[in-house]
Amino acid sequence: MSNHAFIALGSNIGDKGGNCKRAISLISKHADCTVLKVSSFYETEPWGVVEQDKFINMAVEIETALSPFELLEFLKGLEKEMGRTKAERWGPRLIDLDIIFYNDKIIDEKGLNVPHPHMHERAFVLAPLSEIAPDFIHPLLGKSISELFKSVDSSGVKKITQ
């Protein structure tokens, strides 16, 4: 297992923190995934559709033997297993699992874009990521996660303990 991936987690339905913890537990149970780092919880304002509950967001770093597409399929299966249903774009969700980085690969294919195409604009992704990987360099933008985080409005992001 020599591949490293960063995954963003988010929830704003039910036990938000519990949903994120359960997702991390399920990821760690996969034979081809080892969770290396886990960020704190961050309470964040909704993005896109603002008339909804605040989110709990996190990030994890994993080591995996899965290919990028296998990892995506696994994460989407976890979302379904946990009870997520397809709904409004950027709307409320029980759990959201997104591949942000996979090594330093650039993937632009139907169904999978890595690095995540909007991550550098979103404080709810950058805050937890900057905690666990501040020096990781975005392969397209050539900037570290901490540099990217400093360039966005993070006023709606609050680190919490849970």
- Per annotation, catalytic residue among 15, 22, 53, 96: 96
Is 122 a known active-site residue? no
DSSP assignment, residue 121? G
- Per annotation, catalytic residue among 22, 53, 84, 122: 84
What is the C-alpha to C-alpha distance for residues 87 and 93, in angstroms, rounded to an integer?
8
Is 89 a known active-site residue? no
Is 98 a known active-site residue? yes
Beta bridge partners of 143: none
- Per annotation, catalytic residue among 93, 104, 108, 153: 93
Is 27 in contact with 116 (CB distance < 8 Å)?
no
- Per annotation, catalytic residue among 98, 104, 108, 153: 98
Among residues 17, 71, 60, which one has the least CA distance to residue 35?
60
Catalytic residue ranges: 84, 93, 96, 98
